[in-house]
């Protein structure tokens, strides 16, 4: 018996946020490059969420959502704050000190792997054969993109350390992605949980920044603060409620395919802004990654 209901991904309430998140996060990889180097990475992250946190509380209040999340909710918020808004970003920003943003962005396309495993173990989310086949195709495409980036991009610093840091960021983000969709998280308003999570994450970020980089650093470049505004408001306040809702609606594994689309957006931005040169290898990898994404996302949950 067939159903007349449109496929999950084709429903506007899923497709529209999926695309919005990909477009915004695709731009953030380029913006982050202006946040590191002359400013300690830890302080750039602290400033980003110092701006995002009050904005997220304001969103919750405007939406009429209660900020009372209970003891279990606060424990969950502390965990999300640590993994998503501290460890994930500190790993990523530091990885970009050793690898190009393109390589780190492409590596994050592999987010589907831990999301699938953690989603299965923690949430009991099923994995279909079609999803696994699509994932295999997408991973092959991502491997081609990574190979292309590694061959042509000038990798500086400690490449091995950069790869380990990127993997740390992927795992931290994946754990947060999955855990926020547990039974406790689903009972709480998304924006309220995120507001508290960002607050706890910001407190940890400031402590980490002070310990590892010394007193606060205040750059005088307007471009830096414009980047902070984009990353904090668009790249955090707008996107995280949308993305976490997608995780709850279609599962952590399929939601992770947003990172594949993010890669393509990031590469297109690099094409027009940085003069990125496409090759047969990179174009083939992008096409393969997108084909795998489409195949996997069209897999039904059961």
What tens digit of pLDDT does each residue of 45-91 get?
Answer: 999 999 999 999 999 999 999 999 999 999 999 999 999 999 999 99
Average pLDDT over residues 225-244: 94
Least confident of 93-97, 200-204, 264-268: 264-268
Residue 253 has pLDDT above 90, yes or no: no
Mean pLDDT of the chain: 84
Residue 105 has pLDDT above 60, yes or no: yes
Which residue, 302, 265, 278, 296, is CA-closest to 139? 296
Q: Quote the CA–CA distance of 28 and 109 in Å, as a whole number.
A: 15
One-letter-per-residue 3-state SS of 287-302: HHHHHHHHHHHCCCCC
Predicted pLDDT of residue 235: 94
Phi and psi at 299, nearest 5°, equal: -70, 130
Residue 267 has pLDDT above 60, yes or no: yes
From the CA atom positions of the chain, what is the Rg in Å? Answer: 19
Least confident of 64-68, 265-269, 294-298: 294-298
pLDDT in tens, 146-197: 787 667 655 555 677 888 898 899 999 999 988 988 899 999 999 999 999 9
Residue 132 has pLDDT above 60, yes or no: yes
Q: What is the band of 285 on the pLDDT scale with cuts at 50, 70, 90?
A: confident
Least confident of 11-15, 33-37, 295-299: 295-299
């Amino acid at each position: 018996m067939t159903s007349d209901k449109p496929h999950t991904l084709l429903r506007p309430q899923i497709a529209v946020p999926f695309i919005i998140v990909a477009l915004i996060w695709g731009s953030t990889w380029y913006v982050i490059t202006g946040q590191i180097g002359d400013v300690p990475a830890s302080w750039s992250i602290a400033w980003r969420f110092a701006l995002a946190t009050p904005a997220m509380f304001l969103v919750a209040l405007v939406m009429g959502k209660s900020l009372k999340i209970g003891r279990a909710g606060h424990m969950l918020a502390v965990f999300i704050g640590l993994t998503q808004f501290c460890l994930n970003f500190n790993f990523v920003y530091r990885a970009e000190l050793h690898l190009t943003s393109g390589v780190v962005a492409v590596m994050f396309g592999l987010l589907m792997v831990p999301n699938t495993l953690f989603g299965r173990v923690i949430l009991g989310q099923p994995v279909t054969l079609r999803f696994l086949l699509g994932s295999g195709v997408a991973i092959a495409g991502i491997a081609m993109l990574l190979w292309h980036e590694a061959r042509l991009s000038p990798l500086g610093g400690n490449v091995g350390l950069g790869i380990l840091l990127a993997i740390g960021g992927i795992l931290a983000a994946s754990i947060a992605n999955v855990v926020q969709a547990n039974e406790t998280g689903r009972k709480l308003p998304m924006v309220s949980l995120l507001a508290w999570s960002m607050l706890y994450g910001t407190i940890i970020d400031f402590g980490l920044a002070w310990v590892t980089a010394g007193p606060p650093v205040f750059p005088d470049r307007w471009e830096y603060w414009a980047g902070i505004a984009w990353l904090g408001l668009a790249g955090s306040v707008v996107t995280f409620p949308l993305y976490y809702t997608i995780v709850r609606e279609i599962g952590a594994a399929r939601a992770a395919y947003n990172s594949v689309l993010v890669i393509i957006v990031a590469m297109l931005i690099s094409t027009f802004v940085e003069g990125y040169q496409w090759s047969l290898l990179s174009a083939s990898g992008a096409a393969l990654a997108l084909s795998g994404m489409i195949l996997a996302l069209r897999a039904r949950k059961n």
